[in-house]
């Protein structure tokens, strides 16, 4: 059975915004990694001690 296929072609503006969104996500994830690393250093062995 033939399937009619359509293609979406993003405009330059859409590509630029998608790139910016991707960079923002990458920065947020990078910041999260750094945050966990720094907190691990600060807490030392107590990092696993999470009292209520």
CA pair distance 43, 24, nearest whole angstrom: 28
Residues in the chain: 52
Phi-psi region of 3 (alpha: psi -120 to 50; beta: other; left: phi over 0): beta
Q: Does 49 bind other proteins (CB under 8 A)?
A: no
Query: From the CB of 26, what's the least distance to other proteins, in Å?
Result: 12
Query: From the CB of 45, what's the least distance to other proteins, in Å?
Result: 15
Residues in contact with other proteins by CB under 8 A are 3-10, 13-15, 17-18, 20-21, 24-25, 32, 35-36, 38-39, 42-43, 50-52
């Amino acid at each position: 059975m033939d399937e009619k296929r359509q293609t979406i072609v993003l405009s330059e503006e859409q590509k630029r915004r998608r790139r910016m969104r991707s960079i923002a996500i990458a920065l947020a994830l990078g910041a999260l990694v750094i945050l966990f690393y720094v907190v691990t250093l600060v807490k030392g062995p107590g990092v696993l001690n999470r009292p209520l």
